[in-house]
Structure formats: C-alpha cells, structure tokens
Amino acid sequence: MLPFVQVMREADYNKLYDEKYNNSRQRRERRDSRRTRRSDSRDRRHPAQTKRARLKQRMFDRGMGLDLPFLLLVLVLLVIGMIMMFSASFPVAYYNLGDSYYYIKRQAIFAAIGLAAMILLSFFNYNKLHKVSALFIGISWVLLVVVLLVPGDVHRWFAIGNFNVQPSEIAKFSIIVFFAHWGSMYYDKMQYAKYSVLPGLVVFGVTAALLVLEPHFSGIVIIGILTVVMLYLGGMKVRYLVIGLIILFIAVLIAAVTGMLSYAMERMDGWGQALNYTSASDPEMWNTTWQTRNSLYAIGSGGLFGLGLGNSRQKFLYLPEPQNDFVFAIVCEEIGYIGALIILLIFALLVWRGITLSLRSKDRFGKLLGIGLSAQIGIQVVLNILVITDWLPNTGISLPFFSYGGSSLIMLLAQMGLILSISRTANIEKQ
C-alpha cells in the first residue's frame, strides 16, 4: 500500500473519531444544561413547597429498590397461610356464624391493610424511629391498661368498630424498637449493669406486669425472649444476662407462690400427657386436654403426604379454634410432613434473609431493629410448633402469616416493611 494512502485513511479515521466525540460531548452539554435549568426551577419554588419536598425526601427514601427475595418469601407465606387458614376455618365458620367465608373475608381485608402498610413503610426512613422509641413503649403501656377496662375474665382485645385491637402485638414491636434504640445509643456502655440489666428489668417488668393482669402469659414469654435477644445483641455481657434471668426466676417463683400465676398453672394441667387420658379414667383431664389431643390426632393422620388440601377430618368441630393457634396441625393433616417441612423451610429462609439484610445496614440501629423483627418471626414459629405438638403448655401462640387475626397480621406485614426499608439503605451502602 502506498504511504500517502495509509496516511489518508488514518486521517479519515481520526476525523470520524473526532466527529463522534464532538457529537457525544454536545449531547452531554445539552443534557447537563437541562438538568441545571430544572434544578434552578426547583430552587425558585415557594419556600413552603421546598420544605415539604425536603421533608418527604428525608422521610421516604427510595433507595436502590426492594429486596425481591425477601418480598417474595413474605408473599409466598402470606398466600399459603391464607389458603390454609381458609381450609381450616370454613367448617367452624359455617357452624358458628352461618358463613363459610367469614374468616377468610376478614383476613383478606387485614392482609390488604397490612400489604399497604408494608409498601408504605418500605419507603420510610426507619431511623426516624430513634426519636419515638420511648413513645412507642409508652403507647403500648397505655393500651395494655385500656384493655384491662374491657369486661370479662380475660382482657386481651378491645374493639374499635368491627376491628379488635390486641395491644400485646404492639408491645412486641415496641420492645424491639426501644432496645434497638437503646443498644445503638449505649453500645459502648452495655457492659455496665445500669445500662443493660436495669433498663431491661424495668421495661420488661412493667410490660410483663400488665400482661399478667390480662392474663396473657404467652405474650410474656415472647416479650421476655425478645428482651434477652435484643439486650444480648446490644452488647450486654453474658454474666449480666445470667443475673437478670436469676432475678426473673425469683420474681416468677414469688408470683407462683402468691397465686398470681393461677391461670398459667391451670393451662399447664395435662401438659405432655394429652394422649394418656381417656373419658372413662379421668373425664375432667380428658376435656382439659381435648384441644391438644386432637391436634396430635391431626398431625399423626397426615402422614408423609397428607390427606389432601381441604380433606382434614379434625377441623370438622373436633379441633377447637382450628383457624387460630392450631392451624398448623391442620396443615400437617392436609399436606403431610413433607408439605409442613417445606413451609418451615420457607420460614427459615425468611428469617435468614431478614437477618442477612439487617447485617448489611449502614448503622447499628438498623442492624438491631432488623434482626429483632426477624427473630420475632422465628421465635413465634418455634413456640407455636412446640405448643401444637404438646412440647409446651397450650398457652395460645399464633403462627405468623397463618393464624387468623387482624392485629397480628397487620403488625407483622408492617414490620416486614421496615425490614424492606433497611434493605434499601443496605443496598445503597453496598453500591
């Protein structure tokens, strides 16, 4: 090839490159100019509008988007839970209320409210809970006092229109928020008893005392476990944890001796012996253990693969309240041990994913809050399974996403929204 031809071709290539570069630069300059004009336009807005926009930006931060695996796990559990709750509840709903769809219709409304709260809170800046953590504790205590004014022997709910509010569900959330705040604020001082044992005993003690008056001992157990978990994660030394547990044991012993735990002692009658009684040998204990015994019948009848969806026998007025705390017994009966294990695996994945997302948070408050909310699900699932299998006394512990109840489902989905909010900031930090 002649030398001048090579030079001409190189010149043409350079010319083409320069033209592309200049065109690209001009496009960038025009784009930057438009952005500058939009920014100037926003700055010229009315001061009140600018203040509202900034407040909205601080309160609701889009972040890098929802964590889809966590969201899908929540939705899968919610859908399966509603299907199984309907399957377990339609016989008793028809017999008692004349409407087979009574419980599922109400649960669908609760789920819609909860999903709306979850989506809204996923955009919420969870750090705003720092300033209102003590307020949440105070509100939960006020509600626990209000519910005591409701007539009856057991005071766990009060009605607002057609909706029943269960203050203990708010108390669980308040405990998590408060100790997440406390552990993040005083992490360097949690090795001292006055910053760990003392606030733990005060906050838990007041809450537990109000729950004793309801009485609601399963709520005390869950809140007690959550308190221990949050304080330990917050940095409390193990020896102080042991001291706190000893003090708590002494308090329980005193309450038992003085008769304050008579209701709880009655619930322990027949514990672990549900299959030992017959109607002929001990009619009273036969009736006392009726619910637990039929729960075991349902679990045993399911076998590996179950009797089929909708084909449970025990839900036809044998197992009392199958839509509530004992819904998982019907799950085992209808879809068997294999199906039940798959559901438990999904629960485990949800808890693991929630903890993993929380550990990525850019601040200690987000870590503690997310782990506490995730731990609550795991704690309730384990305790519920232990109750329906007679490993724990029948104290009434709901199964997340499965048991019927508005307060529980709405609060649970709202808490999942906060974990999604934590995941947004975690994704920002990761980027």
Residue-level pLDDT at 4? 39
Question: Cα–Cα distances in Å, from 316 out to 302, 312, 369?
Answer: 15, 8, 41
Residue-level pLDDT at 217? 81
For the segment 328-348, what is each residue's pLDDT rounded down to a tens digit?
A: 999 999 999 999 999 999 999
How many whole angstroms separate alpha carbon 157 and alpha carbon 166?
5
How many whole angstroms separate alpha carbon 166 and alpha carbon 152?
15
For the segment 148-166, what is each residue's pLDDT rounded down to a tens digit?
A: 887 766 667 777 777 888 8
Helix (H) or strand (E) holding 95: helix 68-97
Domain ranges for the chain, please list them: 3-43, 68-430
Give first-to-last CA distance, the chain, whole Å: 51
Q: Which residues is 160 bridged to in the sheet?
A: 163
List Cβ neighbours of 348 (8 Å cut-off, separation of 6 or more): 378
Q: Which amino acid is at 418?
A: L
In the block, which residue shows the tokens 């190189």? 10
How many whole angstroms separate alpha carbon 109 and alpha carbon 88?
18
Structure tokens at 283: 């009619």
How many whole angstroms separate alpha carbon 423 and alpha carbon 334?
36
359, 430 contact by CB (below 8 A): no
Q: Are strands 158-160 and 163-165 parallel, antiparallel or unpaired?
A: antiparallel
Q: Which amino acid is at 98?
A: G
Q: Which amino acid is at 341?
A: L
List Cβ neighbours of 159 (8 Å cut-off, separation of 6 or more): 165
Residue-level pLDDT at 70? 94
Structure tokens at 129: 């809970």
Rg (CA), the chain: 28
Closest CA to 166 of 379, 405, 418: 405
Closest CA to 325 of 89, 104, 94, 148: 89
Provide the residue-wise pLDDT of the chain in tens; the chain has 431 residues: 444 345 434 444 444 445 554 566 666 666 666 655 555 555 455 555 555 555 444 444 444 567 899 999 999 999 999 999 999 999 999 999 999 999 999 999 999 999 999 999 999 999 999 889 999 999 999 999 988 887 766 667 777 777 888 888 999 999 999 999 999 998 888 888 888 888 888 999 899 989 888 888 888 889 999 999 999 998 888 888 787 778 777 877 776 676 666 665 666 666 777 777 666 667 777 777 888 899 999 999 999 999 999 999 999 989 998 999 999 999 999 999 999 999 999 999 999 999 999 998 888 999 999 999 999 999 999 999 999 998 888 887 899 999 998 889 999 999 999 999 998 876 544 44
Helix (H) or strand (E) holding 231: helix 217-234
